[in-house]
């Protein structure tokens, strides 16, 4: 399988890290997309005009979203969505009215980092910094969990259902397998060093979608801080265990997200700013591309596999058109000159060849530089609002922009405010708000926070936002050195 991707939408709106992107499971197109961010908001994107509708109920960063699954009993549009946040809440949303139906909290009040619906849509599983998994029956009015699973010894950041099983992963590096249809609250299988530097993400492929599976095992993909993607089989028979299949190595930084697609493909995003598309049956990397200017924190395929969405702490949501080709149909076919040349280097003959391949005739002789210089309005008029060609030009423009930014970075010659904004040092960002600290202060855990954010935190909790451990005393000390550095940085960016 030969895979190519083209950027079709680059969505700006979030003011901090994008933590999760998700296509509707019921809509087979690219038009139903949600994202959440450390800016405390959830956005629903209209990809026709790139506008968005914003939900603002959470009071701290929103970590994860989950749509209710499609079932035979639900033939209408999506019924609900769950969101979880550092504020310690899981909110259940009615998507027809965009209102909150229910609110769930762990007894600890700790941040919740991950949420998933059971396959039948009747249960929610939530987990986070208190190292517990809570199961909630959303068909009842009760605000108490029906089951609490214990056994992890670090923050739980990955969670997926696999039939009657639940798979979880933590910062400790372990994967655990839990049996849901049982009164037993302990794990039934434990991979102690699934990723020795910490698990970051998990996704599950159901047996019916695994073309070569000879039994009813679920295929599990996990990613970790060891820069690896690993595959496992989750047996649904009496053995109840995970079996290691293979490790896949291509990323140069931590793997931050994994998602299964169609045609035996899996995508992973990383701190190296790239997305790799893998053939999970062979373990081979099919395609790797730079998706963002900073870490790729999340990615998701549309259910038909035609689109791939990605999010990053560059604050952008990108949507990519994915094209698949059978390699047998491409034998002896050489790339045309314009296909291996950057658009800013296209001469008139390359532009003509490109247009001919799209069956478009123009009387004007244009170069690639001429196309880059034209506004979106001018291009729409030039090509008579031909949407496919306009989408491709936007993609080519974006690729050219990324190339220029990369060159500017390597030569240290950029003075663009946009570039400076993308290069904000992480130590200048508050761990709670993920925004630049205006008044940095230290507390007893040894970390620095923005004064307003930590004062608000300590009125509700007596724990470290980072370590989740109790704090002895609530004294606050100004971090004058960091304050000076931040002020100097802000002066340079004005």
Q: What is the pLDDT of residue 386?
A: 77
% pLDDT > 70, the chain: 85
Q: Considering only residues 216 and 392, tell me which one the structure prediction assigns the higher pLDDT.
A: 392
Q: Which residues contact 91 (CB under 8 A, 6 or more apart)?
A: 57, 58, 82, 83, 84, 85, 100, 102, 103, 104
Q: What is the pLDDT of residue 76?
A: 46
C-alpha to C-alpha distance for 268 and 298, rounded to whole angstroms: 8
CA geometry: angle 359, 322, 45, nearest 5 deg: 105
Q: What is the pLDDT of residue 30?
A: 46
Q: What is the pLDDT of residue 239?
A: 62
Q: What is the pLDDT of residue 209?
A: 45
Exposed, middle or buried: residue 136 (CB in 10 Å: 0-12, 13-18, 19+)?
buried
pLDDT, tens digit, 9 for 90 and up, residues 342-354: 788 888 888 888 8
Q: Considering only residues 25 and 152, tell me which one the structure prediction assigns the higher pLDDT.
A: 152
Q: What is the pLDDT of residue 358?
A: 79
pTM more than 0.85: no
Q: Which residues contact 396 (CB under 8 A, 6 or more apart)?
A: 343, 371
Q: How confident is the model at residue 415 (pLDDT cuts 50, 70, 90)?
A: very low
Asked if residue 426 has pLDDT above 90, the reply is no
Asked if residue 420 has pLDDT above 50, the reply is no
pLDDT, tens digit, 9 for 90 and up, residues 287-322: 999 999 999 999 999 988 999 999 999 999 999 999
Q: How confident is the model at residue 422 (pLDDT cuts 50, 70, 90)?
A: very low
Q: Which residues contact 229 (CB under 8 A, 6 or more apart)?
A: 221, 222, 223, 247, 248, 249, 251, 255, 258, 266, 268, 276, 278
Q: Where are the domains of the chain?
A: 2-328, 335-411, 424-493
Architecture of the domain whose range is 335-411 = Orthogonal Bundle (1.10)
Q: What is the pLDDT of residue 418?
A: 46
Q: What is the pLDDT of residue 330?
A: 46
DSSP character string of 81-134: EEEEETTSEEEEEETTTTEEEEEEE-TT---EEEEEE-TTSSEEEEEETTSEEE
Asked if residue 381 has pLDDT above 50, the reply is yes
Average pLDDT over residues 97-101: 92
What is the chain's mean pLDDT, rounded? 84
Cα–Cα distances in Å, from 8 out to 106, 161, 298, 311?
40, 32, 17, 14
Q: What is the pLDDT of residue 402?
A: 60
Asked if residue 210 has pLDDT above 50, the reply is no
Average pLDDT over residues 378-385: 82
Q: Do strands 165-170 and 156-162 pair parallel, antiparallel, or not at all (unpaired)?
A: antiparallel
Q: Which residues contact 212 (CB under 8 A, 6 or more apart)?
A: 264, 281
Lowest mean pLDDT among 63-67, 217-221, 387-391, 436-440: 387-391
Architecture of the domain whose range is 2-328 = 7 Propeller (2.130)
Exposed, middle or buried: residue 424 (CB in 10 Å: 0-12, 13-18, 19+)?
middle
Helices (H) and strands (E) in the chain, counts: 7, 31
Average pLDDT over residues 370-394: 79
Asked if residue 26 has pLDDT above 60, the reply is no
Q: Considering only residues 340 and 279, tell me which one the structure prediction assigns the higher pLDDT.
A: 279
pLDDT, tens digit, 9 for 90 and up, residues 244-254: 999 999 999 99
Asked if residue 12 has pLDDT above 80, the reply is yes
Q: What is the pLDDT of residue 56?
A: 93
The neighbouring-strand residues paired with 231 are: 221, 246
Q: List helix spans (H) across 304-426.
A: 348-357, 368-373, 376-382, 387-411, 417-422
pLDDT, tens digit, 9 for 90 and up, residues 28-74: 444 589 999 999 999 999 888 888 899 999 999 999 999 998 765 54
Determine what percent of the chain falls in helix, strand and coil, rounding each to the nearest 5: 20, 40, 45
Average pLDDT over residues 322-329: 74
Cα dihedral sign for 360, 362, 368, 371? negative
Q: How confident is the model at residue 329 (pLDDT cuts 50, 70, 90)?
A: low
Asked if residue 403 has pLDDT above 80, the reply is no
Average pLDDT over residues 189-216: 78
DSSP classification of residue 70: P
Q: Which residues contact 356 (CB under 8 A, 6 or more apart)?
A: none
Q: What is the pLDDT of residue 28?
A: 40
C-alpha to C-alpha distance for 4 and 7, rounded to whole angstroms: 10
User: Is 424-493 in CATH node 3.30.40.10?
Assistant: yes
């Amino acid at each position: 399988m030969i895979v190519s991707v083209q950027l079709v939408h680059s969505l700006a709106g979030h003011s901090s890290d994008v933590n999760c992107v998700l296509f509707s499971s019921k809509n087979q197109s690219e038009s139903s997309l949600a994202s959440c961010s450390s800016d405390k908001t959830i956005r629903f994107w209209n990809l026709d005009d790139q506008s968005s509708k914003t939900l603002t109920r959470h009071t701290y960063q929103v970590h994860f979203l989950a749509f209710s699954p499609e079932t035979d009993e639900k033939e209408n549009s999506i019924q609900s969505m769950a969101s979880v946040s550092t504020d310690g809440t899981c909110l259940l949303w009615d998507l027809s009215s965009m209102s909150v139906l229910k609110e769930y909290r762990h007894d600890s009040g700790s941040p919740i980092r991950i949420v998933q619906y059971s396959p039948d849509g009747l249960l929610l599983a939530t987990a986070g910094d208190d190292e517990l998994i809570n199961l909630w029956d959303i068909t009842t009015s009760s605000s108490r969990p029906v089951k609490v699973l214990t056994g992890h010894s670090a923050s739980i950041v990955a969670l997926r259902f696999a039939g009657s099983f639940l798979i979880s992963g933590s910062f400790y590096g372990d994967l655990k397998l839990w049996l849901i249809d049982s009164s037993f609250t302990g794990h039934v299988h434990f991979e102690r060093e699934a990723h020795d530097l910490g698990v970051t993400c998990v996704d599950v492929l159901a047996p019916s979608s695994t073309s070569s599976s000879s039994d009813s095992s679920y295929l599990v993909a996990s990613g970790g801080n060891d820069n690896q993607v690993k595959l496992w089989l989750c047996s649904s028979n009496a053995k109840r265990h995970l079996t290691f299949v293979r490790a896949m190595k291509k990323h140069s930084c931590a793997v931050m997200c994994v998602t299964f697609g169609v045609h035996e493909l899996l995508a992973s995003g990383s701190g190296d700013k790239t997305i790799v598309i893998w053939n999970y049956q062979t373990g081979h990397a099919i395609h790797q591309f730079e998706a963002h200017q900073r870490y790729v924190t999340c990615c998701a395929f549309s259910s038909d596999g035609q689109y791939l969405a990605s999010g990053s702490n560059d604050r952008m949501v990108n949507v990519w058109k994915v094209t698949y080709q059978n390699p047998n149909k491409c034998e002896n076919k050489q790339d045309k000159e314009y296909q291996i040349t950057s658009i800013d280097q296209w001469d008139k003959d390359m532009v003509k060849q490109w247009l001919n391949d799209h069956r478009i005739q123009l009387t004007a002789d244009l170069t690639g530089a001429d196309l880059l210089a034209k506004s979106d309005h001018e291009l729409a008029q030039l090509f008579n609002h031909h949407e496919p060609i306009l989408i491709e030009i936007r993609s080519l423009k974006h690729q050219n922009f990324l190339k220029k930014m990369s060159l500017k970075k390597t030569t240290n010659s950029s003075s663009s405010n946009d570039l400076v904004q993308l290069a904000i040092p992480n130590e200048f960002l508050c761990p709670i708000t993920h925004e630049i600290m205006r008044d940095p202060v230290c507390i007893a855990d040894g970390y620095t926070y923005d004064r307003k954010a930590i004062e608000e935190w300590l009125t509700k909790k007596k724990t470290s936002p980072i370590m989740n451990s109790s704090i002895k005393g609530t004294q606050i000390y100004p971090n004058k050195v960091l304050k000076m550095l931040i002020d100097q940085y802000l002066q340079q960016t004005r």
